């Protein structure tokens, strides 16, 4: 039997002959209410089979048998009833010799049962007898699109929703920043890369199709660089130097921010939540007006403005979410003033004490009636800006620590944050498509918190790259959770699925080897000054320089090509420029001065 991702909660293999779904299969879908999405997914999954859909009873079921068999005509009602007792979004799947039967209490549960079924057939299309009982440990399992800087082409943003759902992800946090088609302030909308109204619609309808809920994020206190860098709003900064942070004391600030929030909420009528951002507002209480109004108490200034935003969102029927960090060390007396119609999203991306840190904060918020959500990171600063793909040991550690916190504290929403850079004027991290490995680990952990992560890499390689476990072991030896990026460079020719993702990672490895990881000319140049005129030193440096230069020249067009598969050409060029600027500069200056690049 194939390996499953995420691993189901309970799986019992049974003896018997395998079942095959094909032309002579008959599908019967029974749904409590009209659910055209499930009908479409069944037709798409098994285009050759005959499908009948019945509305009635309670619960949801899908029965697959061979045409002419007695099973197809059995009454469905009792089977659906059995589903009513199981858990929200859960399902029971039984594959036997004569038929396959999935039951679920809700439409999402049946959809997840179908996703598992699609992972079951082996390479011959055989499904071995098995009973699976499965349900999510976390109600909202979210990925994250950050559209502030370098991000995937709109058609990919839309296409990935089906990929997320295949691994039972059911929510997506989106920070559009200036890629949102603002109406009242069209000058805030990026001229090239903003999503159109149609794309925004398409994103939402595709999310709905795959049982994914979108949580829009509209920054409303800090990280407003795209607005406050403009002359029209520059005077609203808290200080001249706080480029992205707005002064809460000026009436125009509230007006601007709530105008943006209103449009964001209206554009997502089906989203119960609106994320207000509100992280990293470092300059609080630095202007004269704020100091006076809030007695110089930063948290008081923060909560006063946040409460106005919570009121604004709550009266429009939305549950507002805010990042927790500005209230991290808030005195209890001040925190008590926070409007409880809100949810704190706790984000911690590094460190070894996540469980206890989250517990302390969750207790504080929950005691005030404020909800809590969790945010690990699948990409993060890591203290090294130049990362080209996630630093995996940190990411897996972060996800695993958060997983324990989620279990202990029963956190109902976990978001795998996936930022493009530290902030919108920042240096880009490795691109989104390099993060599938930690993203799907998050998908797995948020579905099944007690899963054996020791088998994750083998299951990922099989599901995401189509590489069987025995072949993966030949390539890498014993597979550890942290081995993926090391292994991925060997995969472009091995992967039957997603070879482009492997090539993207391989290119980034080759770039790092040519610039920094093997001997790098700029690090050796000082030796010429220490040993002037020494022939051996000069030869050595020249040799290193030539190797570096060859490697860089070889990898540059490959990097452009790999990036352009996923991003518009100018974004790809931005990334290449961020990685090659220093080396090109050294060519024009240091290497010329040393006479290295004239001796080729
Ligand atoms: Zn102020």
**DSSP letters for 47-75:** TTSEEEEEE-SSSEEEEEEETT-GGGGS-
Per-residue pLDDT, 18: 96
Could you give the CA distance from residue 49 to residue 280 in angstroms, rounded to a whole number?
54
Average pLDDT over residues 255-283: 98
From the CA of 290, how far away is ligand 1's center (Å)? 4
Distances (CA, A) of 69 to 64, 113, 441, 476: 10, 23, 40, 47
From the CA of 186, how far away is ligand 1's center (Å)? 26
From the CA of 311, how far away is ligand 1's center (Å)? 20
From the CA of 298, how far away is ligand 1's center (Å)? 10
From the CA of 333, how far away is ligand 1's center (Å)? 22
From the CA of 288, how far away is ligand 1's center (Å)? 7
Q: How many CB atoms lie within 10 A of CB 49?
A: 17
From the CA of 582, how far away is ligand 1's center (Å)? 39
Write the Ramachandran bin of 167: left for phi over 0, alpha for psi from -120 to 50, otherwise beta: alpha
Q: Does domain 10-134 have CATH number 3.30.379.10?
A: yes
From the CA of 238, how far away is ligand 1's center (Å)? 5
Listed residues: CB within 5 A of ion ligand 1:
238, 247, 249, 287, 290
pLDDT > 70: percent of the chain = 97
From the CA of 297, how far away is ligand 1's center (Å)? 12
Name residue, tokens 């005509």. Answer: 73
Residue 269 clears pLDDT 80, i.e. is over it: yes
From the CA of 292, how far away is ligand 1's center (Å)? 9
From the CA of 287, how far away is ligand 1's center (Å)? 4
From the CA of 248, how far away is ligand 1's center (Å)? 6
From the CA of 286, how far away is ligand 1's center (Å)? 6
3-state secondary structure 517-546: HCCCHHHHCHHHHHCCCCHHHHHHHHHHHH
Could you give the CA distance from residue 491 to residue 450 in angstroms, rounded to a whole number?
29
At 195-237, the pLDDT tens digits run 999 999 999 999 999 999 999 999 999 999 999 999 999 999 9
From the CA of 276, how far away is ligand 1's center (Å)? 19
Per-residue pLDDT, 79: 54
From the CA of 284, how far away is ligand 1's center (Å)? 7
From the CA of 245, how far away is ligand 1's center (Å)? 9
Q: Categorize the per-residue pLDDT at 146 as very low, low, confident or very high, splitting at 50, 70 and 90.
A: very high
Write the Ramachandran bin of 150: left for phi over 0, alpha for psi from -120 to 50, otherwise beta: beta
From the CA of 308, how far away is ligand 1's center (Å)? 15
From the CA of 282, how far away is ligand 1's center (Å)? 12
At 488-514, the pLDDT tens digits run 999 999 999 999 999 999 999 999 999
Per-residue pLDDT, 85: 58
From the CA of 293, how far away is ligand 1's center (Å)? 9
From the CA of 417, how far away is ligand 1's center (Å)? 30
Question: Exposed, middle or buried, 565 (CB in 10 Å: 0-12/13-18/19+)?
Answer: middle
Residue 171 clears pLDDT 60, i.e. is over it: yes
Residue 78 clears pLDDT 50, i.e. is over it: no
The H or E element that residue 101 is part of is: strand 99-104
From the CA of 257, how far away is ligand 1's center (Å)? 15
Per-residue pLDDT, 81: 56
From the CA of 237, how far away is ligand 1's center (Å)? 8
At 526-553, the pLDDT tens digits run 999 999 999 999 999 999 999 999 999 9
At 550-592, the pLDDT tens digits run 999 999 999 999 999 999 999 999 999 999 999 999 999 999 9
From the CA of 339, how far away is ligand 1's center (Å)? 21
Quote the pTM value.
0.96
Could you give the CA distance from residue 278 to residue 452 in angstroms, rounded to a whole number?
36
Question: Domain-by-domain residue ranges, the chain?
Answer: 10-134, 518-598
Q: Which two tokens stand for residue 241?
A: 């130097």
Q: Categorize the per-residue pLDDT at 16 as very low, low, confident or very high, splitting at 50, 70 and 90.
A: very high
Give the CA radius of gyration of the chain. Answer: 27
From the CA of 291, how far away is ligand 1's center (Å)? 7
From the CA of 253, how far away is ligand 1's center (Å)? 10
Per-residue pLDDT, 585: 97
In the predicted model, what is the mean pLDDT of the chain?
Answer: 94
Nearest by Cα to 198 from 187, 190, 206: 206
Q: Which two tokens stand for residue 145?
A: 């699109």
522 and 590 in contact (C-beta within 8 Å)? yes
From the CA of 420, how far away is ligand 1's center (Å)? 29
What is the four-CA torsion angle of 46, 47, 49, 54, rounded to 10 degrees?
80
Higher pLDDT, 83 or 342: 342
From the CA of 175, how far away is ligand 1's center (Å)? 25
Per-residue pLDDT, 599: 52
From the CA of 218, how far away is ligand 1's center (Å)? 20
Could you give the CA distance from residue 266 to residue 269 in angstroms, rounded to a whole number?
6
From the CA of 302, how far away is ligand 1's center (Å)? 10
Average pLDDT over residues 451-459: 95
Nearest by Cα to 143 from 171, 116, 167: 171
3-state secondary structure 214-242: EEEECCCCCCCHHHHCCCCCHHHECCCCC
Average pLDDT over residues 319-335: 97
């Amino acid at each position: 039997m194939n390996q499953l991702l995420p691993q189901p909660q309970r799986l019992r293999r049974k003896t018997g002959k395998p079942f095959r779904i094909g032309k002579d299969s008959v599908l019967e879908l029974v749904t409590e209410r009209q659910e055209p999405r499930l009908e479409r997914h069944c037709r798409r999954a098994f285009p050759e089979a005959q499908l009948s859909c019945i509305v009635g009873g309670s619960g949801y079921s899908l029965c697959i048998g061979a045409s002419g068999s007695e099973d197809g005509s059995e009454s469905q009602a009792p089977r659906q009833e059995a589903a009513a007792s199981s858990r929200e979004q859960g399902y029971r799947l039984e594959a036997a010799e004569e038929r396959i039967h999935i039951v679920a209490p809700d439409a999402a549960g049946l959809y997840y049962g179908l996703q598992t079924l699609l992972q079951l057939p082996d390479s011959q299309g055989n499904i071995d007898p098995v009973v699976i009982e499965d349900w999510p440990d976390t109600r909202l399992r979210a990925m994250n699109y950050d559209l502030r800087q370098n991000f995937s082409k709109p058609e990919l943003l839309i296409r990935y929703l089906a990929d997320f759902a295949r691994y039972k992800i059911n929510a997506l946090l989106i920070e559009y920043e200036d890629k949102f088609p603002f109406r009242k302030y069209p000058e805030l909308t990026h001229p090239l890369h903003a999503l159109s109204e149609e794309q925004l619609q398409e994103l939402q309808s595709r999310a709905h199709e795959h049982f994914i809920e979108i949580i829009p994020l509209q920054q409303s206190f800090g990280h407003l660089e795209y607005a406050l860098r403009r002359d029209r709003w520059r005077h609203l900064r808290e200080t001249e130097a706080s480029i992205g942070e707005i002064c809460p004391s000026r009436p125009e600030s509230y007006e601007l921010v709530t105008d943006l929030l209103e449009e964001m909420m209206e554009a997502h009528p089906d989203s119960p939540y609106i994320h207000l951002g509100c992280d990293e507002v470092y300059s609080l209480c630095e202007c004269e007006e704020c100091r006076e109004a809030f007695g110089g108490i930063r948290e008081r200034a923060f909560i006063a403005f946040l409460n106005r935003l919570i009121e604004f969102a709550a009266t429009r029927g939305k549950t507002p979410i805010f990042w927790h960090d500005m209230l991290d060390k808030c005195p209890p007396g001040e925190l008590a003033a926070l409007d409880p119609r809100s949810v704190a999203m706790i984000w911690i991306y590094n460190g070894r004490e996540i469980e206890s840190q989250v517990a302390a904060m969750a207790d504080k918020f929950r005691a005030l009636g404020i909800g809590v959500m969790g945010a690990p990171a699948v990409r993060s600063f890591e203290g090294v800006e130049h990362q080209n793909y996630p630093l995996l040991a940190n990411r897996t550690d972060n996800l695993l620590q958060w997983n324990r916190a989620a279990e202990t504290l029963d956190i109902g929403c976990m978001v795998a944050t996936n930022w493009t850079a530290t902030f919108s004027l920042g240096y880009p991290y490795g691109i989104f498509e390099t993060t599938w490995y930690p993203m799907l680990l998050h998908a797995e952990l948020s579905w099944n918190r007690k899963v054996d992560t020791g088998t994750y890499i083998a299951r990922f390689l099989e599901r995401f790259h189509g590489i069987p476990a025995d072949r993966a072991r030949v390539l890498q030896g014993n597979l550890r959770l942290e081995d993926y990026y090391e292994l991925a460079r060997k995969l472009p020719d091995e992967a039957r699925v997603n070879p482009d993702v492997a090539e993207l990672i391989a290119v980034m490895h080759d770039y790092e080897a040519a610039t920094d990881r093997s001997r790098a000319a700029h690090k050796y140049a000082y030796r010429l000054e220490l040993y002037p005129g020494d022939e051996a030193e000069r030869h050595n440096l020249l040799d290193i320089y030539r190797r570096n230069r060859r490697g860089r020249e070889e990898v540059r067009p490959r990097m452009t090509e790999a990036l352009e598969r996923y991003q518009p050409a100018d974004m790809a060029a931005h990334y290449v420029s961020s990685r090659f600027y220093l080396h090109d500069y050294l060519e024009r200056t240091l290497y010329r001065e040393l006479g290295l690049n004239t001796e080729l």
